Amino acid sequence: MKRTLVEKIDFELPDEIAKFTEGARLFDSSCSPEARVWFVDKDKGYYLKTCDVGTLKREAEMTAYFHKKGLGAEVLRYSSGERDWLLTEKVSGEDCTYKRYLDDPKRLCDTIAAELRKLHETDFFDCPIQDRMSEYFALAEENYRTGNYDKTSFPDSFGYRSAEEAWAVLCRGRGEINGRVLLHGDYCLPNIMLDNWKFSKFIDLGNGGVGDRHVDLFWGAWTLWFNLKTDKYRARFFDAYGRDKVDEEKIKIIAAAEVFG
């Protein structure tokens, strides 16, 4: 995760969060236009995230839940006013885009597959989001209706020649996407933390909840393609996860949903 030293945070901080930044060196660690993230170099370290009002409530909730399971960072503060603010502890290790991990792609592939299978076998009876797929498909439908068809993150649109073709696949197949496991929801290399190859924590959990495993399987295959610049590890990833639980036809249905953002 990149860090750029900055003089200050260019937003007014809530009092309950400002005290954590007093006297600290601050590093901009943002990696998307939707949210700003800073590393606060104080004590054992903190990460501070801000976004539009109401947009971090789910992430705070799911991060706290994953922390209770030993899988996520501790949430220290969540504040919602003119903006949303989320302060979490720094977790040990590095995310999976760190060079030492990318330089050993077979081991990386096998590692993230094994950790995903463990996540999907985690008990979820008390998860606060018990029906992630209803929201997931509702968002895809809304984006289809408003013309949000993503060819930026998915340049070949997964073989779908048009929004209409992808939408037809989704409409025919969405009833088959009915599994129930604990999902990360955005299972990509930057969101998986390792400490010398040992699993540390998951981060960026705003899309988590109980839903069908093929959402995470889709993103796991996608992130290997995107970050390693090759699709040669796709089959290995599914093998390492366990072919007994992988249905590639369902992954095509998930792909049809994902091209609508």
d(CA 64, CA 184): 13
DSSP string for residues in 158-222: GG--SHHHHHHHHHHHGGG----EEE-SS--GGGEEEETTEEEEE---TT-EEE-THHHHHHHHH
d(CA 40, CA 20): 8
At 26, which amino acid appears?
L
Q: Kind and range of the H or E element at 85?
A: strand 83-89
Which residues, including other chains, have CB under 8 Å from residue 34's CB and lie 6 or more apart? Answer: 51, 55
| Antiparallel, parallel or unpaired: β 46-52 and 83-89 | antiparallel
Contact 222/234 with Cβ under 8 angstroms?
no
Catalytic residue among 110, 131, 150, 186: 186
CB environment 154-165: b (16+ within 10 A), e (fewer): beebbebeebee
**Eight-state DSSP code of residue 133:** H
Does residue 231 have an active-site annotation? no
d(CA 192, CA 188): 7
**Eight-state DSSP code of residue 245:** G
Contact 165/71 with Cβ under 8 angstroms?
no
Residues with active-site annotation: 186
